[in-house]
Amino acid sequence: MKQSARDEILSKLKSAPREAVASRPDRPVLKELSLTRDELIEMFSKNLVQETGVVHRVKDREQALEKLSQIAQEERLKKVMIATDDVVAPLNLVDWGKKNNVEVMTPQDFGNRDSYIDAVFEEADAGITGADFAVAESGTLGLVHRRDRARLVSLSPILHIAVVPVERIVAIYEQAIEKVFREKENLASQFCFVTGPSMTGDIRGVQFKGMHGPRKVVAILVG
């Protein structure tokens, strides 16, 4: 019987001369680990602002909703697609939308995948999601994609607003990853780090935002 490509490739690799696995130097220590929470929040904000992200700090849910109203007005939002995750759901954005004259859609409103995708591509002026992490080391949002946080909500609309409880701030990527991958049997389909708006420098090295994804990213830190 002809050997399968898999077995052939692996057996070739295995029969190659082995080299001893050299011991590694110590893993380099990252300075972010020694920072206090306030310093981490400051670092997160500074890093995200550097990437043209906008960071707001509010005290509580009420203020977060006020901030959202303000943004909705400034950006003239008519329709938004929202996640229904553990941060956004308690905000009760459907009611908020009625008060603010913004039509609020959730992926689950659509009976099927295609019509949801039509809406998130064609209709949503903004996507509003929660975030599982805010990583200080580079001003990065950590988003687990799952039933209540569809992937395109934070990607397809030109504006992405992320609401992040301030206790979700971590210093380095490893602290986020450790939590996401804790249950090996129940891994999320996808996890994303997002650092600022979509960007390119592919024409003559001139950088601009909003290549394929959002042109603007707003983080509202709550607490």
17 binds another protein (CB under 8 A): yes
Site for another protein in 113-142 (CB under 8 A): 113, 116-118, 120-122, 137-138, 140
Q: Does residue 216 bind another protein (CB under 8 A)?
A: no
For 153, phi and psi rounded to 5 degrees? -65, -35
Contact characters 56-85, another protein, x per CB under 8 A? ------------------------------
Asked if 1 touches another protein (CB under 8 A), the answer is: no
Please give the structure tokens belonging to residue 32.
């972010």
Residue from 93, 196, 216, 218 that binds another protein (CB under 8 A)? 196
Parallel, antiparallel or unpaired: strands 140-145 and 133-135: antiparallel
Nearer to another protein, 22 or 60 (CB): 22
- How far is 196 from 212, CA to CA, in rounded Å? 13
In the set 2, 25, 76, 182, which binds another protein (CB under 8 A)? 25
Based on the shown chain and the rule CB under 8 A, indicate whether residue 145 belongs to the binding site for another protein. Answer: yes
Strands 208-209 and 199-200: antiparallel
For residues 105 and 94, give the distance between their C-alpha atoms in angstroms, rounded to a whole number. Answer: 8
Identify which range of 55-63, 70-78, 90-98, 173-181 contacts another protein by CB under 8 A.
Answer: 173-181
79-82 sheet: strands from edge to edge: 54-58, 216-222, 159-165, 126-130, 79-82, 103-105
Among 2, 99, 182, 212, binds another protein (CB under 8 A): 212
